[in-house]
Amino acid sequence: MGELAFLVVAAALLGSLGFPAFLPYNWHKFLHVVGVVLFVGNIVVTGAWMFLSERTMDSAVLRFSSRVVNWADVAFTAPGVILILLNGLILANQWGGIFGASWITAGGTLLVVSGLVWVGFLIRYQDIMIRLSEGSQGGQLPSEFFGVLHKWYFWGMIATILPLITVALMVVKPVL
């Protein structure tokens, strides 16, 4: 939540200043790409991590994996989102702002929808999986854990596909 508060305050401050480029363009572009690597890399890796963990059917592995996914979101996903959005808003000024080019508007919209899926579903499911896995110390995980995990996979795929489409839009820059 601290990262989200920082993002809102920083975006509001930059917005009130007209999203000035306080670094050279290429540095903002570099930081934007670093954010994409952190963000997309982490969401793909955590999905694979949980899938491989489930295949073990070991409750200790699944308990550990559930906690690590939350930790990775704080350590990688959130900083990636901050770098993407703040530098992306600054870079968008080169194209007339966030509504100046259709591919920026579409990409930004998809990124926001992905964030809403993350906040609306994935965080809640991750917390439930942690609670359920910690409640079964040494024993088998309840079937409810796997039901929540499979819902997490579904919404996680949506929250992953949308940013991948966004990356394609940012690279190809189609006129929509």
Could you tell me if residue 29 is inside a domain? yes
Could you tell me if residue 11 is inside a domain? no
15 pLDDT higher than 70: no
Structural domain containing residue 152: 24-172
Model pLDDT, residue 170: 95
Could you tell me if residue 10 is inside a domain? no
Total domains present in the chain: 1
Give residue-wise pLDDT tens across range 76-124.
998 999 899 989 989 999 899 999 999 999 999 999 999 999 999 999 9
Could you tell me if residue 5 is inside a domain? no
Model pLDDT, residue 136: 72
Helix 102-117 and helix 78-92: axis angle, to 10°? 160
Could you tell me if residue 8 is inside a domain? no
Structure-model confidence comparison of residues 56 and 19, the more confident one: 56
Average pLDDT on 57-73 reads: 93
Model pLDDT, residue 3: 65
0.75 surpassed by pTM: yes
Question: DSSP readout, 21-83?
Answer: --S-HHHHHHHHHHHHHHHHHHHHHHHHHHHHHHHHT-HHHHHHHHHHHHHHIIIIIHHHHHH
Q: How confident is the model at residue 48 (pLDDT cuts 50, 70, 90)?
A: very high
Could you tell me if residue 157 is inside a domain? yes
Could you tell me if residue 85 is inside a domain? yes
